[in-house]
Amino acid sequence: MGRVEGKVAFVTGAARGQGRSHALRLAQEGADIIAIDLTGQIDSVPYAMSQPSDLEETVRQIEALDRRIVATKADVRDFDQVKAAVDDGVAQLGRLDIVSANAGIFSFGSLADLEEQVFRDMIDVNLTGVWHAAKAAIPHIRAGGRGGSIVLTSSTAGLEGMENIGHYVAAKHGVVGLMRTLAIELAPDMIRVNSVHPTSVNTDMIQNSATYALFAPDLPEAERTKETLGARFGALNKLPIPWVEPVDISNAVLWLASDEARYVTGVTLPVDAGEQL
Amino acid sequence: MGRVEGKVAFITGAARGQGRSHAIRLAQEGADIIAVDLLEAIPGAPYAAATQEDLDETVRQVEALDRRIVASKADVRDYEGLKKALDDGVAELGRLDIVSANAGISTQMAPTDELTEDMWQNMIDTNLTGVWHTAKAAIPHLKAGGRGGAIILTSSEAGIKGYANIAHYVSAKHGVVGLMRTLAIELAPDMIRVNSIHPTQVDTDMIMNEATYRLFAPNLENPTREDFAPASQATNTLPIPWVEAVDISNAVLFLASDEARYVTGVPLPVDAGCFLK
């Protein structure tokens, strides 16, 4: 018996990276999946975002586990798109129990210099998009009358300031405020709301030349390899590792989503190799 | 394959309540157990002490799961006695991977200026110094294994919030957080993770007694469990009066398992949203 057997989970940003990993881990433990992803580029994001083929690969891997998945191209910045995708997914899969509001972007610049659009895109995706995911899901979870679990992906940047990513820090702190308020509002329905706070995760969002330049501006571009950057990322952590893997975040999402955490709500859970210390 | 298969866990306060529950839950997932308990009354404790029969019952239940257990009477206030119990257990079971520093007491309550020297000292000795002793005795064995490990300290909601009339308990449980954060830094190079758990009220003998009923319902002459329930529920955000011991055990299990391999330095509430209030 899987740890989320028979439940349905809605995962945003599910085409690749952490989102795909969450979908797979939950499906391994018995959940069916409603997946959305932008599968397209946002101009202010300095690395290649997901493609439709990435979302197709997530579908293939879930179906290989004999679980069902309803996958849709949708933009978390557009509430109507998110709502339509969730409504359609619930219509096909019959219920909703778990939400992983995972979709997020990364970009850089000091707050003194950030361009208006770079700031706005960040808040629109990483904060407003999280609200949209929760707002679209809440009626379905309530309708089930069985309670539920919403897991918001924040960051260590949701718990502390970090230079050159002030817009990201502001959005991820905002997610904590959203989580704490949702946890209070939804408690009467036994719907739990928590946030996870990863340190650097080994995905395309950090493994790209733009992020490497942020972490190693002193190195010539030719020397910005995964190995040299590993030492830079690792310096953030207390455990002697450069970054964590997507599955480490998925395991935290799984625990929070499962009935083992039936009385855990309003919690900020770092998965950060001791970065907060 | 259990989630802590083949590992050995050391649990203090294992005769009953949360400690017994942790032993059973970890054994269900494949761990062998080293169990200690005081089995004596702490002066002024407003409830009956655990007995040899209680510890025998823990042994019986772990053995019924076909796991091994080495159980002995030991006092966490006495480092030498505690060390001997653990050393004997490791000699018999061959290794040590997980520590649950669970042993704790509740005592008579009073405004801070009316706490007696004995009330204060008994509390600090058991609920703070006892936790340090537990970690200190375990660290050499964890390091000797060379496989990393997980130490879980049982703090309390009172480790992250103040409560009137139990300053000694609040101080000890806050102290546990300081101990956790420092141990997490010191032991990170050895991949030994250290986290704390912060339960709201748990349905065990330690709180199901008249002293706790009075703390929560001070205006009633002879408060009962039934009077305690709504007052206890009022501290939580989820509409439940208290959590069960197994809910804390499931958090211990998650933190002890490799699913949390990069989670360290985290104070994890299992508190039905108590922290939100």
Of A248, A252, A263, the CB nearest to B240: A263
Note the pLDDT of residue B21: 98
Cβ atoms of residues A140 and A132 within 8 Å? no
Distance CA B140, CA B118 (A): 32
**Residue in chain B lying closest to A245 (CA):** B262
Closest chain A C-alpha to B118 CA, distance in angstroms: 34
Closest chain B C-alpha to A215 CA, distance in angstroms: 21
Q: Give which of A18, A192, A239 to mutate to test B binding, by max B Cβ within 10 Å.
A: A239
**Residue in chain B lying closest to A196 (CA):** B263
A contacts of B240 (beta carbons < 8 Å)? 263
Determine whether the interchain pair A261/B191 forms a contact, defined as Cβ–Cβ distance below 8 Å: no
Note the pLDDT of residue B103: 98
- Report B:194-233 residues touching A (Cβ under 8 A): 200
Give the dihedral sign, CA A268/A274/B3/B7. Answer: negative
Note the pLDDT of residue B196: 98
B contacts of A179 (beta carbons < 8 Å)? none
Of B238, B247, B265, the CB nearest to A274: B265
Q: Give which of B160, B235, B250, B263 to mutate to test A binding, by max A Cβ within 10 Å.
A: B263
Q: Which of A45, A61, A47, A66 is nearest to A11 (CA)?
A: A61
Residues of chain A with confidence (pLDDT) below 70 = none
Q: Tell whether B270 is within 8 A of chain A (Cβ).
A: yes
Determine whether the interchain pair A187/B269 forms a contact, defined as Cβ–Cβ distance below 8 Å: no
pLDDT tens for A53-91 read 999 999 999 999 999 999 999 999 999 999 999 999 999
Distance CA A102, CA A22 (A): 9
Distance CA A266, CA A252 (A): 15
A contacts of B271 (beta carbons < 8 Å)? 263-264, 266-267
Note the pLDDT of residue B45: 84
**Residue in chain B lying closest to A186 (CA):** B238
Active site residue B169: yes
Closest chain A C-alpha to B186 CA, distance in angstroms: 9
- Tens-digit pLDDT string for chain B (277 aa): 899 999 999 999 999 999 999 999 999 999 999 999 999 988 878 899 999 999 999 999 999 999 999 999 999 999 999 999 999 999 999 999 999 999 999 988 899 999 999 999 999 999 999 999 999 999 999 999 999 999 999 999 999 999 999 999 999 999 999 999 999 999 999 999 999 999 999 999 989 998 889 888 888 989 999 999 999 999 999 999 999 999 999 999 999 999 999 999 999 999 999 999 9
B contacts of A266 (beta carbons < 8 Å)? 237, 269, 271, 273, 275-276
Q: How far is CA B86 from the centre of its chain?
A: 16
**Residue in chain B lying closest to A262 (CA):** B247
Dihedrals phi, psi of B64, to nearest 5 degrees? -65, -20
Closest chain B C-alpha to A274 CA, distance in angstroms: 5
**Residue in chain B lying closest to A25 (CA):** B259
Note the pLDDT of residue B183: 97
Note the pLDDT of residue B162: 93
Q: What are A244's strand-pairing partners?
A: A201
Dihedrals phi, psi of A3, to nearest 5 degrees? -80, -15
By the 10 Å C-beta count (0-12 exposed, 13-18 middle, 19+ buried), B244 is classed as: middle
**Which run of H or of E encompasses B197?**
strand B192-199
Q: Give which of B262, B264, B268 to mutate to test A binding, by max A Cβ within 10 Å.
A: B262
- Report B:7-26 residues touching A (Cβ under 8 A): none
Which ipTM score applies to this complex? 0.90
**Residue in chain B lying closest to A264 (CA):** B270
Of B237, B250, B265, the CB nearest to A184: B237
Distances (CA, A) of A2 to A7, A24, A25, A254, B78: 10, 13, 11, 11, 43
Determine whether the interchain pair B237/A264 forms a contact, defined as Cβ–Cβ distance below 8 Å: no
The CA radius of gyration of chain B, in Å to the nearest whole number, is 18
